[in-house]
């Protein structure tokens, strides 16, 4: 089986596995991250595109948000999935490493990637967390978790550990201040940063409108 066939089989698998997912971590999220990662890798150059594609497709194979908070399970599941194919050991290692390292772990927690390919996939995942799609995904996730949209009495928190970040149950709007608005300045590549500026502007405009509407203001 060649690289393209492996990618195609992986796509088929995840389309089925993530069908009907309603928290914003569905197949279409994977598809967008995969597409963004390819575009970023091609623009940046000097990348192992197969590692980028597989890292993007597998990055949510067992996200800590849906497996009881175990951040190690994703890497284990990714390696198990990859072992069914004839893939060189060094490439399996890089792909698994992407899955293990990619997640945002709190505003005060550094999350560096160990490879250029990983940096590209992390950027693609973070781009899909901001802008119009990011807003939609944020409220989908908050609704699925039973969180209120907004509570002005509950202030955003600068999480200093992954444990604090992953156990937070704050209102959905806090997530913009605890994560989303900080992603633009935590990207790895110039290509992603350029795209992030447009998406950041959209989020900031949305928040201004949100507060006006929350206060039930009628404009002249």
Q: What is the pTM of this model?
A: 0.93
Dist. CA 38–CA 52, nearest whole Å: 7
Average pLDDT estimate for 6-32 = 93
Answer whether residue 211 shows pLDDT above 60: yes
Q: Is 56 in contact with 29 (CB distance < 8 Å)?
A: no
Query: Cβ–Cβ contacts within 10 Å for residue 192, how many?
Result: 24
219 within some domain: no
Average pLDDT estimate for 99-117 = 90
Per-residue pLDDT at 141: 95
> What is residue 161's DSSP assignment?
S
Residue whose tokens read 């089986």: 1
pLDDT (tens digit per residue) in 57-102: 999 997 655 555 567 788 899 999 999 999 999 999 999 999 999 9
What total number of domains does the chain contain?
Answer: 1
189 within some domain: yes
* Owning domain of residue 52: 3-214
166 within some domain: yes
32 within some domain: yes
> What is residue 3's DSSP assignment?
H
Per-residue pLDDT at 217: 81
Q: Which of 151, 200, 201, 192 is nearest to 39 (CA)?
A: 192
69 within some domain: yes
User: Helices 190-214 and 27-44 sit at what angle, rounded to 10 degrees?
Assistant: 140
Instruction: Give the pLDDT band (50/70/90) at residue 15.
Output: very high
> What is residue 148's DSSP assignment?
-
CATH number, domain containing residue 68: 1.10.3210.50
In the predicted model, what is the mean pLDDT of the chain? 93
Query: Cβ–Cβ contacts within 10 Å for residue 112, how many?
Result: 9
Answer whether residue 40 shows pLDDT above 90: yes
Per-residue pLDDT at 162: 80
pLDDT (tens digit per residue) in 144-176: 999 999 999 999 999 888 878 878 889 999 999
Per-residue pLDDT at 109: 85
220 within some domain: no
Residue whose tokens read 């993530």: 18
14 within some domain: yes
């Amino acid at each position: 089986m060649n690289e393209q066939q492996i990618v195609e089989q992986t796509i088929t698998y995840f389309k089925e596995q993530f069908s009907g997912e309603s928290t914003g971590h569905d197949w279409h999220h994977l598809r967008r991250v995969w597409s963004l990662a390819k575009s970023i890798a091609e623009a940046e150059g000097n990348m192992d595109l197969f590692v980028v594609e597989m890292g993007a497709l597998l990055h949510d194979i067992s996200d800590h948000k849906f497996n009881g908070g175990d951040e190690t399970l994703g890497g284990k599941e990714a390696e198990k999935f990859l072992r069914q194919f004839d893939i060189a050991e060094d490439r399996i290692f890089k792909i698994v490493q992407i899955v293990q390292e990619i997640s945002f772990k709190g505003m005060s927690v550094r999350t560096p990637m160990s490879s250029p390919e990983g940096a590209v996939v992390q950027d693609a995942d973070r781009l899909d967390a901001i802008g119009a799609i990011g807003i939609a995904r944020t409220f989908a996730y908050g609704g699925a978790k039973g969180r209120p949209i907004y509570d002005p009495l509950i202030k955003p928190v600068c999480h200093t550990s992954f444990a604090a970040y992953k156990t937070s149950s704050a209102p959905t709007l806090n997530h913009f201040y605890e994560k989303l608005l900080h992603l633009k300045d935590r990207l790895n590549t110039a290509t992603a940063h350029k795209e992030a500026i447009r998406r950041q502007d959209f989020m900031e405009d949305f928040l201004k409108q949100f507060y006006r509407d929350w206060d039930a203001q009628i404009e002249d």
